[in-house]
Structure 1
Amino acid sequence: MSAAEPGIGEWPTEGLVDDVRSQMFRAADAGETFALATIVAADGGPRPVGAQMLVTAASYWGFLSGGCIEADVALHAREAIADGQPRRLVYGEGSPFIDIRLPCGGRIQVELERVPPDDAAVHDLRRLTLAREPALWTSDGKHRSCSKDGVTDPAPRARVRRRYDPAQRLAVVGTDPFALAIAALGQRIGWDTVLLAPFAPEGETPLEVPVLRSALADSLASIAPDPWTAIAVATHDLERDREALVPALAGSAGYVGVLGSRRKLDERRAGLRAAGLREGEIDRLKAPIGLPIGAASPWEVALAVIAEIVADARSRTSGESA
């Protein structure tokens, strides 16, 4: 994303970054101290508790209000980088910053902390991120820790408690326009996306998406699906679908869906049952795949599928910052 802070009249592309971990690790690798701004309380506003900005001496990423407070937060963040003191910023009702208004009429409380590049919490967050483990960042503003979520209790005086889930992954089974559109849209929104297609045409794919051409069971095993992995099956062939669905539903993937007619659902379930899956495993299947928005074209179907994956993930992590 943007390598420098946006100027007046520039598009706010830095706000397209929702998860600032990559910027955090990049700053640490460059030996650069940064400031982390975290929403810890919100009454109204477009961003939830846990939303973050990362600020360096020259840049910032993420957004907290949709353009109302970001420049001011960056100003205070750089002061925190300079003097090392944490800050609590309040915008909206009861704020000392009377010249900054929130059009939504809400109230946002932001905690600012200065983070040196060699901080142990950054190292632990990177380790847990690479291991695809949920991490809990806890900070009192000056001292912080990061551990696998649920392993240790947060410090009682912590000003910031922020959970980081593993990044969303998407595995799409198929090669037709529906499969390509689902994979392309998943990749476009930043998900780690792969096509599973032992039956794929030879040569390069039309997308910059990796293709695994080994047997479907082997491909699924190689990506080791976890609760933050979605598997979308779109082969239009009951037998090929079953080759993917049996290991997918028996595994740990958070979401498994299949494209196809509702009329064939009973036949599909019977085939999965005959393959040895239990009813509870079969009940995990989203079929037909995607939210019911009347989608018809490949891109509309992709939109419905991606939206259903997001809705499903949010429902499973309700009340947590992802």
Structure 2
Amino acid sequence: MDSADLEVLRSILAWRRDGRRVLLYTVVETWGSAPRPPGAMLAMCGDGRLVGSVSGGCIEDDLVARLHDGRLPPGKVGAELLTYGVTREEAARFGLPCGGTLRLTEEEVDDPAWVADLLERCEGHEVVVRELHLASGTTRLRPADRDEALSFDGETLRAIYGPRWRLLLIGAGQLSRYVCEMARMLDFDVLVCDPREEFAHGWEDLRARFVAGMPDDAVLAIEPDERTAIVALTHDPRLDDMALLTALTSRAFYVGALGSRVNNRNRRERLASLGLAESEIARLHGPVGLPIGSHTPAEIALSLLAEIVALKNGAGDAFL
């Protein structure tokens, strides 16, 4: 779940606490070239204000029109299923490219308790399933299985919330803060490890988790899987190499280290001398990031995350 979806949930909670009417829309299915993927959300306040998105804008206009022309009487029980773009003409009318079609649920949020509970769980780095029964409008929250995805069987929507990907940063310097801020917007659960006490403060403000101890222990502690990226950013071989020795033998889908080509060549030689196999060392990304001519910390963070996201999305071969 990305930061835009979190903003939708926070807006719902704030509006309901102010006593305002709130409608929630969730994309459940798409066909063709739909503008937004399943799971995308939009909240509409009773005065027509919108937060979030389910399309490029035209469907949002129709949803507001439904509110103002009386098609949405208050107090309706259950959730309704809306479909846009069944015909090519309707798809063109609502701005759906290439005859795309999307289906979304429309529900009135009466009791916001489940929203507060969901936000609390997401802030606690949990991955949660929300089960919405359309006929009754009832909601149930439960922990998600690791590989569970959004599903809809015509009666119940099971939507996934919370971080699905993890990023462990070795080193808590200035660059790590830029990486953290951007990674949070990209739906990464960010963890930071740095044994130097002077770098351990302020991370809670960035909604990152600080992992105490030495870098190799931190890598072992989080049990990296295929949804984990690990990046060494300290420039200190005593810290970076310790993390890399463990990370390169793990299942992490991305392992990288900051540094020039010369530094990374020397790093590879050190890792070989420490016993890593050639195939394991070959997994190391370094210098990290896509070649965008980056110089500032923010540009380096953008370059790094662009490479990580490309690999996450299966587009890494395009940059080889």
Matched residues, percent identical?
Answer: 27
1:230: Cα distance to partner? 2.8
* TM-score computed with the length of structure 1 as normaliser: 0.66
1:238: Cα distance to partner? 3.0
Aligned to 2:305: 306
1:288: Cα distance to partner? 2.1
Indicate the RMSD between aligned Cα atoms, in angstroms: 4.9
Whole-angstrom CA distance in 2 between matches of 1:87 and 1:217:
51
Q: Which of 38, 41, 66 is equivalent to 2:27?
A: 38
Aligned to 2:59: 69
Q: Which of 102, 108, 124 is equivalent to 1:109?
A: 102
1:307: Cα distance to partner? 1.2
Q: Map 1:1-322 to 2 at 5 A.
A: 17-18=4-5, 22-23=9-10, 26=13, 35-55=24-44, 57=46, 60-73=50-63, 76=66, 79=72, 82-92=75-85, 94=87, 101-102=94-95, 104=97, 106-114=99-107, 117=111, 132-133=126-127, 135=129, 142=136, 148-149=144-145, 157-158=154-155, 160=157, 162-164=159-161, 166-175=163-172, 177-187=174-184, 191-199=188-196, 201=198, 208-209=205-206, 214-220=213-219, 225-277=224-276, 281-315=280-314
Whole-angstrom CA distance in 2 between matches of 1:314 and 1:233:
22
* Cα pair 1:236 1:259 within 8 Å, conserved: yes
Whole-angstrom CA distance in 2 between matches of 1:202 and 1:153:
38
Letter in 2 for 1:170: L
Letter in 1 for 2:233: A
Whole-angstrom CA distance in 1 between matches of 2:153 and 2:172:
52
* Cα pair 2:233 2:240 within 8 Å, conserved: yes
Helix, strand or coil: the match of 1:37?
strand
Any gaps of 5 or more consecutive residues in structure 1? 1-14, 317-322
Structure with the bigger percentage of helix: 2
Whole-angstrom CA distance in 2 between matches of 1:202 and 1:85:
50
Whole-angstrom CA distance in 2 between matches of 1:236 and 1:63:
41
1:125–1:85 distance in 2 versus 1, CA, 3 Å = same
Whole-angstrom CA distance in 2 between matches of 1:153 and 1:191:
18
1:213–1:37 distance in 2 versus 1, CA, 3 Å = closer
- CA offset digits 1:39-59 (Å, max 9, x no partner): 411433432233222446566
1:201: Cα distance to partner? 4.3
1:62: Cα distance to partner? 1.9
Letter in 1 for 2:40: A
1:258–1:72 distance in 2 versus 1, CA, 3 Å = same
1:41–1:180 distance in 2 versus 1, CA, 3 Å = closer
1:302: Cα distance to partner? 0.9
